[in-house]
Amino acid sequence: MTVTAAPFHVALHDRVEATGSVVCLGIDPRPEAHPSTHPSTHDHDPARIAKAVVSYYRDLLDAAAPDLACVKLQSAFFERMGIPGLVALAQLLVDARERGLPAILDAKRGDIGSTAEAYAAAYLDGGVFDADALTVHPYLGMDSLEPFVDVAQRNGRGLFLLVRTSNPGGADLQDLTIDAPRPDGARPLTLADRVADLWTDRARELGVDARGYGPLGAVVGGTVPERLVELRDRLPHAILLVPGYGAQGAGPAEVRGAFDRQGLGAIISASRSLSHRDGDDPPREAADAARSMARALREVRPRA
């Protein structure tokens, strides 16, 4: 089951154009932080907590869907809830897609050979945790990514490779300069640059759509605006998934460099700043927050 017959990257851009929104709702269930209208922590039964999570996010999706480009489900928070949490993950993946929202599973998987094949089969090939796109780790090298690329290409799914993350420690390895010949006066190449270049080479081999994009997206944090601009250039065929907006401190000005000249090529993810509301009607407040965020981002996006 896919949202549409179009490949993920095409369907996502179609939806961005239709809704005018580049907002990606991050679904990071923290039952202990649920608003009092959708309580869950007074209950210690894991199955009931997971049920409350599904109910809460369904209400959010119903209210906010018109102002969302897509959703991103954070696997860690579901895994933390054990078996009922994973049932909730399967349910919310279906719920999002039934509402026309492409569903990115942020599970940051990365392994080699037949193990990578097993992860790709688990998340991009019609199983109970079937998603439209998956986040993946680069450290194990290009052959480790190939099983994911194969399945994504075959099934019209997307990948988001971690290139430059939004945390301060992202610099530890990703900003290391690597020893590579450079033209006179050129900035030294970082590890993240090298990852981006390898990914762009692979994207070219796969081919791009009419907008210039393909299935190989990338994660670049909104908290490093100057890197975002540089990596936008190095990843011309990648839709960028940009975390760090809101709770992590990035705003419209910080993420504007993520877009191409048509105002496409990036989705901006926010979780806590959209979903952790505590008024009388949190789903309505989440929808309002998503609408405001979409509007603020339209102000900074180039117009085609």
Residue keyed to tokens 């450290």: 139
- Residues 163 and 79: their CA atoms lie apart, in Å, by 24
Cα–Cα distance for residue pair 22/149, rounded to 1 Å: 24
The footprint of a copy of itself on this chain (CB under 8 A) covers a number of residues equal to: 57
Nearest to 227 by CA among 198, 257, 187, 199: 257
Which residue in 108, 202, 276, 298 is the catalytic one? 108
Q: Note whether 28 binds a copy of itself by CB under 8 A.
A: yes
Q: Does residue 22 contact residue 60 with C-beta atoms inside 8 Å?
A: no
Does residue number 34 form part of the binding site for a copy of itself (CB under 8 A)? no
Nearer to a copy of itself, 128 or 206 (CB): 128
Q: Which is nearer to a copy of itself, 121 or 206 (CB)?
A: 121
What's the chain's length in residues? 304
List 43, 45, 62, 172, residue binding a copy of itself (CB under 8 A): 172
Sign of CA dihedral 293, 96, 16, 220: positive
Output phi, psi for 250, to 5 deg.
-80, 145
Of 4, 17, 30, 284, the one binding a copy of itself by CB under 8 A = 30
Whether 51 is catalytic is: no
Residue number, 11 or 89, with CB nearest to a copy of itself = 89
Q: 302: buried, middle or exposed (CB in 10 Å: 19+, 13-18, 0-12)? A: exposed
CB of 83 or CB of 206, closer to a copy of itself: 83
Catalytically active residues, by annotation: 108
In the complex, the residues that contact a copy of itself under the rule CB under 8 A are 28, 30, 74, 76-77, 79-80, 82-83, 86-87, 90, 108-116, 118-119, 121-123, 127-129, 137-144, 162, 165-174, 176-179, 188, 191, 194-195, 198
